[in-house]
Structure 1
Amino acid sequence: MKKMKKAIVAATLLAVGGIALAGNGPDGYPNEPVRFVVSFAPGGGTDLVARLVGAELSKRIGQTVVVENKAGASGIIAAQYVARAKPDGYTLLVGGSGPMVFNPITQNNLPYDPVKDFEPVTILGSYPLVILAGVKEPFDTVKDLVKYAKEKPGELNYGSFGYSSQVPTEYFASIADIKLTQIPYKGSSEAAQALLAGNTQLFSSDIGPGAPLVASGRAKALAVTSAERNPILPDVPTLAESGYPGFDFSLYSAVAAPKGTPAAITDYLQKELHAVLHSPEVTEKLGTMGIKPEGMPPAEAAARYAREVEMFSPIVDKMGLKAN
Structure 2
Amino acid sequence: MVDITQEAEAGGFTPVSTRTFLEGGDKMKKQSLGWQIRCALLVGVVASLPLAHAESVDQFPSKPITIVAQTAAGSSTDLFARELAQAASEVLGQPIVVTNRPGGSGAAQMAVISSSAPDGYTVGVNTASHITAMLTNLKGMYKPSDFSWITLNQIDPFVLVVNANSPYKTVNEMVKAGIDGEKIRIGGYGSIGSAHNIAVNIFAETAKMPFTWVGYPGSGDAITAVLGNHIEAASSNPGGALPFVEGKRAKILAIANEKRIPSLPDVPTYAEAGYDVDTSWKQIRGIYGPKGIPLEIQKKLADAFFKAMQSPRFMEYMERSALVVGDLGPDKYPQFIDKMSVVAGKWLTELGLDK
| TM-score category (smaller protein) | 0.7 to 0.9
User: Does the alignment pair 1:276 with 2:305?
Assistant: no
Q: Does 1:109 align with 2:139?
A: yes
Is 1:142–2:174 an aligned residue pair?
no
Give the Cα–Cα distance (whole angstroms) in 2 for the partners of residues 106 and 33 of structure 1: 34
CA deviation map 1:218-270 (0-9, x unaligned): 21210111111122221111111111235424311100010011112111101
In 1, Cα distance between equivalents of 2:298 and 2:187: 38
CA contact (8 A) 1:119 1:256 kept: yes
2:213 & 2:127 partners in 1: Cα distance? 23
The whole-number CA distance in structure 2 between the counterparts of 1:105 and 1:112 is: 9
Change (3 A) 1:51 1:25: farther
C-alpha distance in structure 1 between counterparts of 2:335 and 2:201, whole Å: 23
Which residue among 67, 71, 95 is the counterpart of 1:64? 95
**Residue of 305, 330, 335 corresponding to 1:303:** 335
Q: Aligned partners of 1:114 and 1:311: how far apart in 2? A: 14
Q: How does 1:1-324 map to 2 (within 5 A)?
A: 26-99=57-130, 101-107=131-137, 109=139, 111-115=141-145, 117-152=146-181, 155-162=183-190, 163-245=194-276, 247-248=278-279, 249-322=281-354, 324=355
Q: Tell me how large the CA RMSD over aligned residues is.
A: 1.9
State the alpha-carbon separation in 1 of the partners of residues 261 and 140 from structure 2. Answer: 34
Could you state the TM-score of these two structures normalised by the residue count of structure 2? 0.79
More helix by share: 1
Pick closer, same or farther for the CA change 1:45–1:296 going to 2, 3 Å: same
Deviations 1:189-210 (A, max 9, x none): 2222222222211111011011
Question: Is the 1:25–1:268 contact (alpha carbons within 8 Å) kept by the matching residues of 2?
Answer: no
Q: CA deviation at 1:59?
A: 0.8
Q: Secondary structure at the match of 1:40?
A: coil
Structure 2: which amino acid aligns with 1:165?
Answer: H
**Percentage of pairs with the same residue:** 29
Question: Equivalents in 2 of 1:127, 1:253: separation in Å?
Answer: 8
Matched residues in 1 for 2:94 and 2:138: separation?
39
CA deviations on 1:63-119 (whole Å, 9 max, x unpaired) are: 1100111123332321222111121111101122111x222334463532222x201
Distance 1:179 1:51, change over 3 A: same
Distance in 2 separating the partners of 1:315 and 1:236: 26
Count, aligned residues: 297
Secondary structure of 1:316's counterpart equals: helix
Q: For residue 279 of structure 1, report the CA deviation from its aligned partner.
A: 3.5
Task: Give the Å deviation of 1:177.
Answer: 0.9
Distance 2:158 2:178 in 1: 20
The 1-side partners of 2:273 and 2:341 are apart by 24
Residues 277 and 184 of structure 1, relative CA distance in 2, 3 Å threshold = same
Which is greater in Rg?
1
Contact 1:80–1:112 (8 Å) recurs in 2: no
Looking at structure 2, the residues matched to 152 and 246 of structure 1 have their Cα atoms a distance apart, in angstroms, of: 22
Q: Which runs of 5+ in 1 are unaligned?
A: 1-23
